Structure 1
């Protein structure tokens, strides 16, 4: 079949050329915004990685160095996780809009079909523009970023902290030495280690619970835009 015959078989869209052009520009804008927020997500992760690296350098710089930087960096990484979860909610919103246009507008056109101007995809998109809202909660967003990136950072922080206690200033010979090395000023070592155990157990449980929430939410979703 010649190219001319293929063009004749191609269905004519109900939309005017001006509408198609406007939607093309709208799609480019949503892709740009999602890319911009994706870059901001990467920046926050970079901050967490850099601060963890600095804490590792300070902690293992010499045998007498305190393990306290590894404790503080765990709290700082948690703050970065909250920042990144907030940014992810913006990114998810713009990405969902672009994805909706890809699946319900561009894909049918490329497959040789007609796209109704007043289809469900147009209604969902117009409603989202009239009343913008997040498509994911802060808790689920934090869970996603934790499972993707921050679980590895926190795991390294935990291993480094307990490794520091085990080898510096000399290899451990008794359990009492662990508590003595973990002590921070007037705070007993067993309290510090218990707090660390609770902290790391908490984020593991949080990651598992939010994963389950994501699965339940996808099963009950009522809009394709909410599946992203």
Structure 2
């Protein structure tokens, strides 16, 4: 049996640079972009689905807490609901940043390849190929943690938390007329005054995070605001 002449050498230059041809061949590049675009769209849709699932669970928890809190004497269930929503918010922020990272790559291809194919007026970002290559080698988030936190708070979680807060205020004041507010607000081992102070400080922090003026860094075409550079360094 003769020796094979076309032996595969995984350490060879040609094998290592298997996609190098696509950088200089237009048809190869377009074929590669087609598959890559589909993959990024799939990843983006996956993380968007996870975001929706997190929000669905948050709404379900709020609904259950509101239904159960007025059937028991203690007001602690509403406090548990606030903590649970805060945990959902933390998970949501991480998932949104992952979703936004994939979405940004998709938009970069749409802006510089698809839009230019339909109307060749020039490229919004002339070095878009280098940008994608760098991001694939060293992936980074495109929006900061605080900006994502503020965005998700204002759009989804702050209204839910305000709803729980109003229910809690009603629960410790009007709902139990034969007790004072500090008696109703108290939980085992913690006086009502301290509980109210902690809850009040919690909501002050929430509103400060959501509405504190800050420069927009994310690339958001639909918001009518100038955005920062496509790729964030931090």
Q: TM-score, normalised by structure 1?
A: 0.80
Deviation at 1:40, TM superposition (A): 0.6
Following the alignment from structure 2 to structure 1, what is the Cα–Cα distance between the partners of residues 122 and 153?
A: 41
> CA distance change for structure 1 residues 93 and 55 in 2, over 3 Å: closer, same or farther?
same
Inter-partner Cα distance in structure 2 for 1:125 and 1:215: 19
Matched, 1:168 2:175: yes
* Partner-residue secondary structure (3-state), 2:141: coil
Quote the residue 2:78 is aligned against: 70
5+ residue gaps, structure 1, are 1-13
Corresponding position of 1:203: 206
Q: How does 1:17-36 map to 2 (within 5 A)?
A: 17-36=27-46
Q: Provide the C-alpha distance between the structure 2 equivalents of 1:76 and 1:44, rounded to a whole number of angstroms.
A: 12
Superposition deviation, residue 18 in structure 1:
2.5
- Asked if the contact 1:40/1:87 (under 8 Å) is kept, the reply is yes
Residue of structure 1 in register with 2:230 after alignment: 224
TM-score, length basis structure 2: 0.78
Paired position in structure 2 for 1:191: 194
- Greater fraction of residues in helix: 1
Q: Is the 8 A contact 1:58 1:65 kept in 2?
A: no
Bigger RCO of structures 1 and 2 (CA < 8 A, at least 6 apart): 1
Q: From 42, 67, 73, give the equivalent of 2:52.
A: 42
Taking structure 1 as reference, are residues 215 and 24 closer, same or farther at Cα in structure 2, changes over 3 Å only?
Answer: closer
Matches of residues 26-175 of structure 1 in structure 2 within 5 Å? 26-61=36-71, 64-112=72-120, 119-170=126-177
1:44-98 superposed Cα distances (whole Å, 9 cap, x missing partner)? 112211111111111122xx53211001110111111111111111101000000
